[in-house]
């Protein structure tokens, strides 16, 4: 469907709908806010792009250095139609929303147009000319708006404000970019000057005292970003929690102890959790640790734990997550808000409203609460556990927990862990050998360390690789048996050993053991970039002599071994299990 074919029937609906808006007092003029930019240059560039394919494109100043791109003006019914159709056609962003005129300050595009001064129902007659292009508005100049209150009446209504209401007004002025002093509820010279500046920019007389109408206009500007969020007080008696929740974007889901789920209900991928469980400080600290294993709590972000509370924030390219919980009287209660990245103003505003409204009431979730209908090793209380980008094998080479692994396992990682939760740092890498050396950030005492064999094992002798074949799913390494086909690579490389073995990706980095338990090499991953397709059973390992040389260059002296006695399969498996470690790469 072309843009012309799509918009033509909508256009006439909007033209006649707009005329009706000015003829009926119960209709408000609204806009479809589609984008905001932090500079006039960026906003102008985006407007030109939208104007190439859409009608009724406008540019308005929003305050605080931001500029909005909006479609309109429309009646609310027509705006809802435009919003739905254009979203479905992919012509405007999914997070576009309906905004009131009070959201905007002044119009900068199209040049010379000022649609914010559209006539009200009591204004002189307005003609709307229908054309094949956009509706043009020709209005007879109206008399300046009469103030809703005299200066003395405004002072009197202001005097009736509570201290909290006065502080709230200051915070609105601060958000709009007019006030930068303390939020103290005292209307001194600074507050009065900010009120006068706001009045000037919004077409009101500069008195320094806001009338009731002006305070409401400022309030609407402040809350315009929450249009469509439908912040609604939710009382959950089972969880013993009451708070505001953006029901415009989330709907109630399952209860899975210790969480009550509110899942995304539309295009905005938001999520809210209510947290509720009985417990003590140990329970609180355990919840703190568990939350950090969840996919909804990205690794990057502030972590703050105190004796009776914690706050977890996490962000990546897709989401920003905030979790807070507090222990009081043997009950742990809190919440999580997950919001799409890139929508920071709306996220922080919603988060602030949720924090301010959070209340503890009687009740706490029953540990048996929940259907547990979705059971999976990758789920915890209905939430997906965070999984590493890649998991490979490695092996201990000294008593301090130093690990040798494949360099593939440490590429592009924001964090590297051993055995799932012990963080490690890269000590050295040798890409020519495909080898990396890691050291744990905390003390670690391995059960057994690898003994590197001196010299080559006998050709066609039996060998085995100890590795996490299934990348940690089984929780322990397994042995995969094969044979030593050659003590050199296909091109005569002395640093390589060729093996006849069918190993899995997770085995890469694991120790290759001979029949006596000595390490003859480290298994390399299959070369996916190679133009040559080798038979499935052909694998290569970096030889023990090359490993020893690389470790010496990194300042590590490693024990070597001259094999004596052939081990049984059971003893070989036990030896491999004790020296092999899971290496995980996290985004």
Torsion of CA 333, 339, 343, 349, to 10 degrees: -20
- Which is it for the CA torsion 170, 174, 178, 182, positive or negative? positive
Give helix 3-23 / helix 76-89 axis angle, nearest 10°: 170
pLDDT at 2: 39
pLDDT at 410: 92
Strand ranges, E, within 101-240? 107-109, 126-129, 136-139, 231-236
Buried-exposed string 8-26: b where 16+ CB fall within 10 A, e elsewhere? eebbebbbebbbebbeeee
- DSSP code string of 253-293: EEEETTEEEEEE-SSS--EEEEEEEE--HHHHHHHHHHHTT
Which pLDDT band holds residue 371 (cuts at 50, 70, 90)?
A: low
Angle at 250 between CA 248 and CA 253, to 5 degrees: 145
Bridge-partner residues for 274, per DSSP? 260, 335
Cα 148–chain centre separation:
45
Q: What is the CA radius of gyration of the chain?
A: 33
Statement: residue 528 has pLDDT above 70: no
10 Å CB burial of residue 83 (0-12, 13-18, 19+) is buried
Statement: residue 557 has pLDDT above 80: no
Which pLDDT band holds residue 438 (cuts at 50, 70, 90)?
A: very high
**pTM as predicted:** 0.51
Count of all residues that appear for the chain in the document: 587
Summarised one tens digit per residue, pLDDT across range 315-329 is 988 999 999 999 999
- DSSP code string of 505-530: GGGTTPEEEETTS-EEEEEPPP-TT-
Statement: residue 373 has pLDDT above 70: no
Which pLDDT band holds residue 569 (cuts at 50, 70, 90)?
A: confident
Task: Report the alpha-carbon distance of residue 144 to residue 202 in Å, rounded.
Answer: 13
Statement: residue 87 has pLDDT above 70: yes
Q: What is the mean pLDDT of the chain?
A: 83
Q: With left for phi above 0 and alpha for psi between -120 and 50, is residue 85 left, alpha or beta?
A: alpha
Statement: residue 134 has pLDDT above 50: no
Q: Are strands 452-453 and 560-561 parallel, antiparallel or unpaired?
A: parallel
559: closest CA among 335, 436, 409, 400? 400
pLDDT at 197: 93
Please state whether the peptide bond connecting residue 569 to the residue before it is cis, i.e. omega within 30 degrees of 0: no
Task: Report the alpha-carbon distance of residue 559 to residue 255 in Å, rounded.
Answer: 55
Q: Which of 131-145, 161-175, 263-277, 507-521 has the lowest mean pLDDT?
A: 131-145
Q: Are strands 66-75 and 29-37 parallel, antiparallel or unpaired?
A: antiparallel
| H or E segment to which residue 153 belongs | helix 151-159
Q: Which of 7-11, 77-81, 340-344 has the lowest mean pLDDT?
A: 7-11
User: Token pair of 533, please?
Assistant: 């397709």
Summarised one tens digit per residue, pLDDT across range 422-433 is 899 999 999 999
Distances (CA, A) of 512 to 13, 365, 397: 74, 51, 13
pLDDT at 98: 87
60: closest CA among 101, 21, 120, 98? 101
pLDDT at 58: 92
Distances (CA, A) of 57 to 51, 134, 141: 6, 10, 23
Summarised one tens digit per residue, pLDDT across range 454-481 is 888 889 999 999 999 888 777 789 999 9
Statement: residue 295 has pLDDT above 80: yes
Statement: residue 138 has pLDDT above 50: no
Please state whether the peptide bond connecting residue 401 to the residue before it is cis, i.e. omega within 30 degrees of 0: no
Give helix 189-201 / helix 163-176 axis angle, nearest 10°: 50
Statement: residue 118 has pLDDT above 90: no
Q: Which residues contact 337 (CB under 8 A, 6 or more apart)?
A: 270, 271, 272, 321, 322, 347, 350, 351, 354
pLDDT at 271: 95
Q: Which residues contact 377 (CB under 8 A, 6 or more apart)?
A: 473
Selected residue with higher pLDDT from 18 and 486: 486
pLDDT at 147: 63
- 351: three-class secondary structure by DSSP: helix
Whose tokens are 């300042």? That residue is: 555
User: Token pair of 153, please?
Assistant: 């009446």
- Which is it for the CA torsion 177, 178, 183, 185, positive or negative? negative
User: Token pair of 262, please?
Assistant: 């509110």
pLDDT at 372: 52
pLDDT at 38: 79
- 430: three-class secondary structure by DSSP: strand
102: closest CA among 160, 42, 28? 28
* Strand order across the 231-236 sheet: 231-236, 241-246, 359-360
Contact 124, 179 (CB under 8 A): no
Which pLDDT band holds residue 563 (cuts at 50, 70, 90)?
A: low
């Amino acid at each position: 469907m072309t843009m012309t074919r799509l918009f033509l029937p909508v256009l006439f609906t909007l033209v006649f709908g707009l005329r009706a808006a000015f003829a009926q007092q119960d209709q408000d003029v609204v806009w479809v806010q589609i984008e905001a930019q932090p500079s006039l240059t960026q906003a102008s560039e985006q407007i030109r792009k939208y104007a190439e394919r859409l009608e009724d494109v406008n540019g308005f100043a929003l305050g605080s250095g931001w500029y909005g791109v909006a479609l309109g003006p429309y009646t609310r019914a027509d705006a809802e139609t435009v919003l739905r159709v254009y979203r479905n056609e992919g012509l405007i962003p999914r997070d576009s929303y309906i905004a009131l005129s009070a959201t905007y300050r002044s119009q900068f595009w199209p040049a010379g147009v000022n649609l914010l001064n559209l006539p009200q129902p009591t204004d002189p007659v307005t003609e709307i000319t229908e054309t094949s292009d956009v509706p043009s508005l020709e209005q007879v100049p109206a008399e300046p708006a009469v103030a809703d209150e005299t200066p003395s009446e405004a002072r009197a209504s202001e005097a009736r404000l509570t201290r909290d209401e006065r502080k709230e007004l200051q915070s609105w002025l601060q958000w709009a970019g007019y006030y930068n002093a303390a939020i103290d509820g005292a209307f001194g010279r600074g507050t009065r000057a900010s009120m006068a500046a706001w009045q000037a920019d919004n077409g009101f007389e500069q008195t320094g005292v806001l009338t009731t109408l002006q305070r409401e206009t400022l309030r609407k500007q402040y809350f315009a970003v929450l249009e469509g969020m439908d912040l609604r007080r939710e009382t959950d008696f089972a969880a013993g929690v009451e708070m505001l929740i953006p029901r415009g974007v989330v709907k109630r889901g399952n209860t899975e102890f210790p969480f009550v789920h509110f899942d995304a209900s539309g295009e905005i991928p938001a999520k809210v959790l209510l947290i509720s469980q009985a417990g003590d400080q140990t329970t609180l600290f355990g919840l703190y640790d568990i939350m950090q294993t969840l996919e909804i709590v990205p690794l990057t972000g502030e972590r703050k734990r105190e004796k009776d509370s914690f706050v977890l924030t996490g962000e990546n390219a897709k989401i920003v997550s905030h979790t807070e919980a507090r222990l009081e009287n043997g009950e742990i209660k809190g919440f999580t808000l997950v919001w799409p990245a890139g929508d920071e103003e709306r996220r922080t505003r919603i988060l602030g409203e949720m924090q301010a409204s959070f209340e503890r009431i009687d009740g706490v979730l029953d540990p048996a609460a929940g259907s547990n209908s979705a059971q999976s090793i990758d789920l915890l209380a209905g939430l997906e556990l965070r999984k590493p980008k890649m998991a490979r094998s490695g092996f201990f080479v000294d008593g301090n927990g130093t690990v040798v692994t494949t360099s593939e396992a440490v590429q592009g990682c924001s964090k590297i862990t051993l055995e799932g939760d012990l963080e490690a740092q890269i000590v050295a890498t040798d890409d020519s050998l495909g080898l990396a050396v890691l050291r744990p950030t905390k003390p670690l005492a391995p059960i057994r360390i690898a003994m590197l064999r001196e010299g080559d094992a006998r050709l066609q002798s039996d060998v085995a690789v100890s590795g996490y074949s299934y990348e940690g799913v089984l929780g322990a390494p397994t042995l995969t048996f094969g044979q030593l086909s050659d003590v050199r690579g296909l091109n005569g490389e002395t640093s390589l050993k060729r093996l006849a073995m069918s190993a899995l990706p997770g085995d890469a980095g694991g120790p290759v053991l001979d029949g006596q338990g000595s390490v003859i090499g480290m298994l390399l991953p299959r070369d996916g970039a190679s133009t040559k397709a080798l038979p499935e059973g052909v694998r290569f390992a970096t030889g023990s002599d090359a490993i020893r040389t690389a470790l010496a260059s990194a300042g590590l002296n490693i024990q070597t071994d001259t094999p004596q006695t052939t081990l049984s399969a059971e003893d070989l498996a036990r030896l491999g299990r004790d020296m092999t470690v899971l290496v995980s790469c996290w985004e």
